[in-house]
Amino acid sequence: MSENIKVSPWLDSSHKPYIEIQNVTKRFGEFTAIDNLTLDIYKNEFFSLLGPSGCGKTTLLRMLAGFEKITDGKILLDGEDISEIPPHLRPINMMFQSYALFPHMTVEKNIAFGLKQDNLPANEINQRVEEMLELVELTDFANRKPNQLSGGQSQRVALARSLAKRPKLLLLDEPLGALDKRLREQTQFELMDIQEKLEVTFVIVTHDQEEAMTVSSRIGVMDSGNLVQVATPAEIYEAPINKDVADFIGDVNILKGIYKGQNEIGTQLLSEDSNSIVFATQDAGASVEDEMWFAIRPEKLEISRTKPSHNHNILKGKIEDIAYGGSFSTYHVKLDNGKILKAIRANRERTKEHHLTWDDEVYLQWAAHSAVVLLS
């Protein structure tokens, strides 16, 4: 998570938001891509827009850049309404998903392109280009053409080019999408370092939830043109607002059931799967007999061959599949009614004695505070 923001300005009403997206709607003909969306982003945030393809996240980013005209509503940057300002006059730069490097220009010329548009003196441009090349460690590649660069190098040139003008806001459209996994993870940390060093506000669009979790100060989860939940990565993961968010971010087990009121442990749910009452500490805020769901992350489901001593929040099943992941294993446990739950267990022991294996009869249990109560 980005540490640039030591406090959480979004919790403090005295902080003024840096970017204010106010009731923005974008229609393409009959199709509504963004539907009356309102969002505040604060200075120095590393904000991620996350969502499945077609959810409108890229459209929102392109409206911030000025490539798409807003149908309704307005966008303020640092208190100034930028809705009507054309892209070439906005103090905002974008790093394109395809990188969009000019193929007929060298790395150096690509980075200098934006600075030249401002008619800066030549020595200042050179100095700034030099700085940028150092920042992305490409000084030796200054005279290469884009087609002589690797994917990772192109990505860094694109980043350097978009940062050269010291924008108030940097937009990144799937910046790491074209890189392989190892390079992507390494680059995520580089991005965070650069963001901290330059103190630029970053808004990133991604469909990779792990990436969003790693880099962001906050994540906005989008679906069908609107924000479903805006929160820190930990909040999104541990307290998703509904089944879709829970399912989209990380793995999750969803138990469906009927709300049976509160007791001394907490919320009681008559589970469809076990035909018994299961509990969660969190308050439901629903009326009795409502349909309701519990979401339990796989690492919070404890798996064991022996029957636990207590007798609530226990489900019995059989191991159907095991995915060995080195440091941990994921067990697919089939309940009596055929439903499959996932449980993750760290592989702490090297010996085989404690190992669970296929077709083992196992008990799944969870602490009442590990389950999230969802009403939709």
Question: At closest approach, how far in Å is the CB of 104 from other proteins?
Answer: 5
**What beta strand segments (E) does 175-327 contain?**
201-206, 218-223, 226-231, 253-262, 267-271, 277-280, 291-296, 302-304, 314-324
| Greatest distance between any 2 Cα atoms in the chain | 77
Question: Given the complex with other proteins, which of 9 and 146 has the nearer CB atom?
Answer: 146
Q: Give CA–CA dist 309/299, Å, rounded.
A: 21
* CB neighbour list of residue 210: distance below 8 Å, 6 or more residues apart: none
Q: Taking CA 17 as the corner, what is the angle to CA 12 and CA 22, rounded to the nearest 5 degrees?
A: 120
Site residues for other proteins, 48-67, by CB under 8 A, read 65-67
Q: Taking CA 130 as the corner, what is the angle to CA 126 and CA 134, rounded to the nearest 5 degrees?
A: 170
Q: Spell out the SS3 assignment of 43-96.
A: CCCEEEEECCCCCCHHHHHHHHHCCCCCCEEEEEECCEECCCCCHHHCCEEEEC
Question: At closest approach, how far in Å is the CB of 105 from other proteins?
Answer: 9
Site residues for other proteins, 81-100, by CB under 8 A, read 86-89, 92-94, 96, 98, 100
Question: At closest approach, how far in Å is the CB of 92 from other proteins?
Answer: 8
Question: Given the complex with other proteins, which of 92 and 205 has the nearer CB atom?
Answer: 92
Question: At closest approach, how far in Å is the CB of 119 from other proteins?
Answer: 10
Closest Cα to residue 160, out of 148, 150, 172?
172
Question: Given the complex with other proteins, which of 64 and 374 has the nearer CB atom?
Answer: 64
154 binding other proteins? (CB under 8 A): no
* CB neighbour list of residue 337: distance below 8 Å, 6 or more residues apart: 272, 273
Question: Given the complex with other proteins, which of 164 and 343 has the nearer CB atom?
Answer: 164
Question: Given the complex with other proteins, which of 20 and 173 has the nearer CB atom?
Answer: 173
**How many residues form the binding site for other proteins (CB under 8 A)?**
24
Site residues for other proteins, 155-214, by CB under 8 A, read 161-162, 165
Q: Binding string, 107-136, against other proteins, x = CB under 8 A?
A: ------xx--xx------------------
Question: At closest approach, how far in Å is the CB of 63 from other proteins?
Answer: 13
Residue 258 in tokens? 């009927």
Which residues are near other proteins by CB under 8 A?
Answer: 65-67, 86-89, 92-94, 96, 98, 100-104, 113-114, 117-118, 161-162, 165
